Each structure stands twice: as C-alpha cells, then as structure tokens.
Amino acid sequence: MSAAIRLTPLRGVPLVAPGDDLAALLAAAAERAGISLRDGALVVCQKVVSKAEGRVVALAEVEPGPEARRIAAEEEKDPRQVELVLRESARLVRRGHGVLIAETRHGFVCANAGIDLSNAPGEDMAVLLPEDPDASARRLRDALAPRDARLGVIVSDTFGRPWREGLVDVALGCAGMAPIRDARGESDLSGRELQVTTTATADQLAAAAGLLMDKAAGIPAVWIEGVAIEGDAPLRSILRDPSNDLFR
Amino acid sequence: MSAAIRLTPLRGVPLVAPGDDLAALLAAAAERAGISLRDGALVVCQKVVSKAEGRVVALAEVEPGPEARRIAAEEEKDPRQVELVLRESARLVRRGHGVLIAETRHGFVCANAGIDLSNAPGEDMAVLLPEDPDASARRLRDALAPRDARLGVIVSDTFGRPWREGLVDVALGCAGMAPIRDARGESDLSGRELQVTTTATADQLAAAAGLLMDKAAGIPAVWIEGVAIEGDAPLRSILRDPSNDLFR
C-alpha cells in the first residue's frame, strides 16, 4: 500500500431497473473505459444494486400502521415512508428534529433505515437497502471475475455521522477482500508495536469512491487501482458487537 | 468531479521534531516526487503537525490528579495518559471496556481525546492534537502556495466510529477549500431535487489518503489530484451544533 492509487469513474451505465443484469452493465462500462477488473476494487453504489434486485416499493401501495402514523405526525414525515423504515428496522436508535436513526435488520445504524426517495424510478417510489449487501457484492464479484482473480467488490451508501455534518460513503457489503486491515504486531518507525490495530479499508475505499459518485452525473460505480486486495470476509464482520458498543 | 482521481504518497519526509519547518519538509518531498502542489489537496497526518508544533509531552512530567487516578484504576489505563485526556477534553462522552471517548476542546469526539502514545519520539511520550488544526492547515497552506492558487490542505487523523470496528481517517482541520459540498438545489437524473444535501468532502479526502498513510512505512502526507478545490472554510464549521445532535 505505498504506490499511487487511481480512481476512475464508470460512465454510461444506463438507468437500472428491477431484473437488470447489473454485472453485465458494469462489465460493459468497464470495457468501454478500457478497464480490466483485476487487481483492484470496484465500488458500486447501493442504489443501483437495490434497483437491479427489485428492492423498490411504490409508496402508494404502503399502508402505514398506527405506530408509523404516530411517529410521522410527531416528526412531520410521510407516514408511508415511516412505515417502510419500521419494517426495515430492528429498532429506532434515536429520533428528533424530523430525523429517524434506525438500526436496520442488517445491523447498520443510519437515517431512515437507508431508504431513499430521491432518484427513484417515478415520483413516489422508495428504494430499500439490499436484503443482504454482502451477498449482493458476492454475486457481482463472482460474475465479474474468476475466484482466483484479485477483485474486491464493495456495495456502498452515503451515511450521516454523529457529531459531524455532511454525508460520507461507507461500505454495506463486500466480497473478494477483507473489509478491515489488521496491523497488530507491526511496528512503527521507533520499533514500538502499533497501538492502532485495525483500519476499515472497505470504508476508506467507499469514502474515496464517493468523491466521484456524483448523483447528478449518473456515476454509479468507481474503479480503484493501486490498493492491496487481500483476504475475503463479509462486511458484516466489522459491525461492532453490541456488548462492546458504547453508543447503543 | 468526474475525471479520474490520483493519490500519490509523499515519501522521504524525515522524522519530525518540535520546531521543524514542516511546510519546507513537505515542499521538498513534493519536489522530489515531481509534484506541483497546485489544483489539488494535500492531506497531512496530524501526528507530524503536532510534533512540529511541539504538542509533545513526556509522560514522566505528568502528575495525575485524583479524577485521573480513579478513572485510570477503573479502566486499567495509565493515570498519566488519563490526566492528559482530561486536560485536553471538554467532557467525557462515554467510557467503558478500557476506552475513554472524549469530546476535545475543539469539539471532536474520539478515543483518548486523540492523544497517541505510538510513534512518539522516545518511549514515554504522548502526542496531543494540534491546539487549532484549522490554523495549522492555514499556516501550511499559506507557506506552500500563494492565496490565489487552488490548493487545499487537510490535517487528518484516524478515528474510531460508533457501531463499526476499524479506524477511518477524518479531517481535523482544513484551509484553502470548503470541507463540505452542498448539493442542495441540484437535480438528480429524474429531475427531482436531491434530498442528499451535503457531502463531507474533507472527510472523504482524508479517508482516501488514509489508504496510503502507512505508519510503518512513514508516509505522513498524500497528494490528491482530480478533485475540485472550491471555497474556503474551516473544518470546525462542519462540527454539528449540539442542539441538533441526537448523540450527545
């Protein structure tokens, strides 16, 4: 991890609809850009993954229950959206100022359980997170390269953070790479064992790709070369065990 | 923000000591690498900034007070380190499992108030965060380029996050650029106004640079080309107002 890193946007991916072969669309875009999807990481925006997987709901078909109606009234939100948030969540972590912070059934803590109304194919559609983003990444990765090729695939989304304004992209799922780099046992320049033990490589890659994922320009994937692609573990392996979490 | 992005590590920066001219050391490293520090962002690791500014404390000279001794005993930590954490903090946000999460006097929420014992110049030294990381970034930026040049400088550090294992780099200070990109009013591909309003560009750049900031290899700065350098505001402007913060 010491030479230069290059990030290239994948352009010209058409609007994705349920049932589309996303891997084929990404492979075609890579080929047009002269990119060989080897020895690097492909970061793919969650929204196109969800759309291809059919994780799209017409708000008109959502019947909000009493809890969704109560919360929607208090937070001045669309009760149908709140109903979807509750369905997708294990629990609400915080709410207030019109914001619902939910823990999704996957274990992600984010606004509105990651449900997005913007960029949906039609006026009143909601895009849900993939059912299993690690499995989504695995399917894309295995469709794009043989098992022995060094190709990491990350499914990313933009999340807000506590304490800081502004969204930053994080990894929701990955395949073909370890989401974390463990530096325990390595020494620093003075020979002292490093205290900083683990770096969340998948989240660093997602954040870097976010610099190019301009929604207005329709760039749903970014290719990253110059990073070491090592190991293979699901992203869910870096979600902190609740018993070690000081922010539950 | 749509062409390729390139990240290049700045190598060969010597170990930094209090009083060193860090801007001159970085400029020399850039020149050796054939890099012109224009139209891009330079991300500089907090630790070399702190060392150059003399923010280094010998633990032997720290006299822990009663509160530091009590917390250190409960959390099984060095009471001298806890004393420094308390001095650098506005308050402790959480503690447990041997971890102190502090809000620093700047307003950053992080483990041990950002105080680091690893990589210090000697066995029992602690490196504190810069007094004012925005001012540190400003001094570096103004020493490296004229006011009218497009050069953003970010001072970065690795922070842990709630809910996820692994560290990711964030911006502590910046100059010559806006730390956040405001997309309000822009439209998405279907013409709907974007709901996602702000992206924390400075934190995306810091996380990207973190992919190359290998402590074992002594890479204290990374040069990033291909990003739009716009605006000029301090990083502290993106620290969330406590009254809007659901995680206080």
Output the pTM of the full model.
Answer: 0.94
Per-residue pLDDT at B197:
73
- At A39-51, the pLDDT tens digits run 999 999 999 999 9
Residue B30 has pLDDT above 60, yes or no: yes
Q: pLDDT over 90 for what percent of chain B? A: 79
Per-residue pLDDT at A1:
39
Q: In chain B, whose CA is at the least distance from the CA of A193?
A: B118
Q: pLDDT over 70 for what percent of chain A? A: 91
Report the pLDDT averaged over residues B203-225: 91
- At B157-193, the pLDDT tens digits run 999 999 999 999 999 999 999 999 987 666 555 555 5
For residue B63, the distance in angstroms to the closest alpha carbon of chain A comes to 23
- The full set of domain ranges for chain A reads 1-54+130-239, 56-128
For domain B1-54+130-239, the CATH architecture is 2-Layer Sandwich (3.30)
Instruction: Tell me the backbone φ, ψ of residue A84, rounded to 5 degrees.
Output: -65, -40
Instruction: Tell me the backbone φ, ψ of residue A143, rounded to 5 degrees.
Output: -80, -20
Per-residue pLDDT at A175:
98
Q: How confident is the model at residue A153 (pLDDT cuts 50, 70, 90)?
A: very high
Report the pLDDT averaged over residues A106-110: 96
Report the alpha-carbon distance of residue A100 to residue A240 in Å, rounded: 21
Interface test with A, best of B95, B157, B168, B174 (most A CBs within 10 A): B168
Token pair 């001298």: residue:
B80
Instruction: Using DSSP bridges, classify how beta strands B164-175 and B181-182 pair: parallel, antiparallel or unpaired.
Output: unpaired
Per-residue pLDDT at B128:
97
Weakest-pLDDT range from A26-35, A212-221, B179-188, B197-206: B179-188
Name the residue among B229, B227, B226, B214 with its Cα closest to residue B13. B214
Report the alpha-carbon distance of residue A138 to residue A144 in Å, rounded: 10
Report the pLDDT averaged over residues B77-100: 94
ipTM of this predicted structure = 0.93
Name the residue among A44, A58, A38 with its Cα closest to residue A16. A44
CATH code of domain A56-128: 3.90.1660.10
Contacts of A189 in chain B (CB under 8 A): 15, 119, 215-216, 218
Residue B194 has pLDDT above 90, yes or no: no
Instruction: Tell me the backbone φ, ψ of residue A238, rounded to 5 degrees.
Output: -100, 0
